[in-house]
């Protein structure tokens, strides 16, 4: 059975909670990521998370200047954290219960990576995994909000076709 460590993204971008939001936005744009983990304030503390959705809904929609806001004012804290050995069905259930789409992957307090709904869809063989029945609704919502996008370039065409097939199977 596949686990979080099989599908997680190991390259994680972090930012301090005291950073200005426009710096976080610049990092997200540069690295082409939709979320940043917010570093722990203390060694035994919990990570936070900042997503593009947080920025759009909490800052842009309210016409707030991102140069005047700190990450800690927009981030969600604590972020969902999971272990690398967690099975994909259990991960899907955690996402569903927490109404989240991403989680930090931690082992004995050490950050190993980040895992998302997209990772489950794009990096696993879903025919061998039993997912919760409501999970397809989360994927459809992600599709509607362009969190899974269909890019026509040759580089992503195969992945897009696979993702569409998976979505059809989940329906």
Q: What is the pLDDT of residue 155?
A: 45
Q: Which residue has the higher pLDDT, 98 or 170?
A: 98
What tens digit of pLDDT does each residue of 107-146 get? 998 999 999 999 988 887 656 556 666 766 766 666 665 5
Q: Where is average pLDDT lowest: 36-50, 81-95, 146-160?
A: 146-160
| Residues facing residue 102 across a β-bridge | 116
Q: Which residues, 6+ apart, have CB-to-CB distance to 122 below 8 Å?
A: 159, 162, 163
pLDDT > 70? residue 61: yes
Give the mean pLDDT of 64-91.
Answer: 96
Q: Which residue has the higher pLDDT, 88 or 134?
A: 88
Among 125, 122, 129, 53, smallest CA distance to 92 is for 129
Q: What is the pLDDT of residue 123?
A: 84
The overall average pLDDT reported for the chain is 84
State the pTM of this model: 0.72
For the chain, the straight-line distance linking the first and the last C-alpha, in angstroms and rounded, comes to: 22
Q: Which residue has the higher pLDDT, 159 or 62?
A: 62
Q: Which domains does the chain have, with CATH numbers?
A: 4-170 (3.10.580.10)
Sheet holding 102-107, edge to edge: 81-82, 102-107, 110-116
Question: pLDDT tier at 1 (50, 70, 90 boundaries)?
Answer: confident
């Amino acid at each position: 059975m596949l686990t979080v460590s099989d599908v997680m993204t190991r390259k994680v971008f972090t930012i301090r909670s005291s950073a200005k939001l426009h710096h976080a936005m610049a990092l997200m744009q540069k690295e082409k990521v939709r979320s940043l983990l917010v570093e722990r304030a203390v060694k035994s503390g919990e990570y936070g998370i900042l997503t593009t959705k947080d920025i759009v809904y909490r800052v842009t929609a309210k016409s707030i200047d991102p140069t005047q806001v700190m990450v800690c004012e927009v981030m969600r804290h604590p972020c969902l954290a999971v272990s690398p050995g967690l099975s994909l069905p259990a991960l899907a259930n955690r996402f569903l219960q927490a109404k989240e789409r991403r989680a930090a992957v931690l082992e004995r307090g050490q950050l190993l990576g980040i895992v998302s709904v997209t990772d489950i869809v794009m990096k696993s063989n879903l025919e061998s995994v039993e997912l919760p029945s409501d999970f397809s609704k989360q994927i459809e919502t992600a599709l509607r909000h362009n969190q899974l996008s269909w890019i026509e370039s040759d580089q992503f065409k195969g992945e897009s076709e696979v993702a569409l097939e998976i979505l059809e199977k989940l329906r």
